[in-house]
Amino acid sequence: MRADARIDAPAQLAGRKIGVPEWAQTAGVYARGMLAREYGVDLASVQWFQAGVNDPGREEKVKLDLPAGLSCTPVRDRSLSQMLLSGEIDAAITARPPAPFVAGDARVRRLFGDFRSAERASWEQTGIFPIMHVVAMRGEVYERAPWLAMNLCKAFEQAKNNSLARIAADLESYLPLPWVPTEVQLAREHMGPDFWPYGVGANRRTLEAFARDAFEQGVCARQLAPEELFPAEVQNHYRI
């Protein structure tokens, strides 16, 4: 956001001008949902603009049908970074930090100065750990061999567990950062032993929140349930 926007709390984004790289971007859906649910921001009060983060010309990839009161104006000849610096927008919701922020430009700052505490408070309040991606398989492959769905889940779960075991190791450094094992332990103490849960059951609260937000924000034509999105074979808890 602009450093001179006189915004000290998320609720003050109501009525402001905010840019997004794509309205249907997963991170944006979660962030707007958080603003509405946790901070009471009326999304319809915001003037939304869509443009590339650092380069002009980015276009929405899906057809939108925004609810009454919501509008998002595409901007083709300028980037969100340019619009932030010029004052055309007060803030931007992006998965990738705008170039001026990365460069240390004093005109651009984070909304949440202590973002780690804000994230922790959000987790404690909602239990939502935003998901960015899912693994998909072709319908005809699943219909031909339904057992593949669970086999893929088991394979990815085992790969995840192996990866976490490596980064949590005290005697070997798999990441060129200090205190990594300590950070892993803190995450486990705060979020549970499996802080990157896979599967439908462990992520139900997050999936339901995203489905609701996506519908309310015009990304989906109707509100979907997690059961509609995933094969029945992977919706139950399993052990490796």
Domain ranges of the chain: 10-126, 139-234
The predicted structure's pLDDT at residue 175: 84
Q: What type of residue sits at position 129?
A: F
Cβ contacts of 5 within 8 Å, gap of 6 or more: 16, 90, 91
For residue 119, the SS3 value is helix
The predicted structure's pLDDT at residue 240: 46
Distance CA 23, CA 32 (A): 10
The predicted structure's pLDDT at residue 172: 80
The predicted structure's pLDDT at residue 235: 80
C-alpha dihedral (82, 95, 109, 14), degrees to nearest 10 = 90
**56, 95 Cβ separation under 8 angstroms:** no
Distance CA 101, CA 233 (A): 45
Distance CA 48, CA 72 (A): 5
The predicted structure's pLDDT at residue 155: 94
The predicted structure's pLDDT at residue 102: 96
The structural architecture, per CATH, of the domain 10-126 is 3-Layer(aba) Sandwich (3.40)
Q: Which of 181, 207, 198 is nearest to 128 (CA)?
A: 207
**65, 216 Cβ separation under 8 angstroms:** no
The predicted structure's pLDDT at residue 237: 56
Q: Which of 94, 101, 12 is nearest to 53 (CA)?
A: 94
C-alpha dihedral (117, 119, 123, 125), degrees to nearest 10 = 70
Per-residue pLDDT of the chain (240 residues; tens, 9 = 90+): 999 999 999 999 999 999 999 999 999 999 999 999 999 999 999 999 999 999 999 999 988 999 999 999 999 999 999 999 999 999 999 999 999 999 999 999 999 999 999 999 999 999 999 987 888 899 999 999 999 999 999 999 999 999 999 988 888 878 888 889 899 999 999 999 988 888 888 899 999 999 999 999 999 999 999 999 998 888 875 554
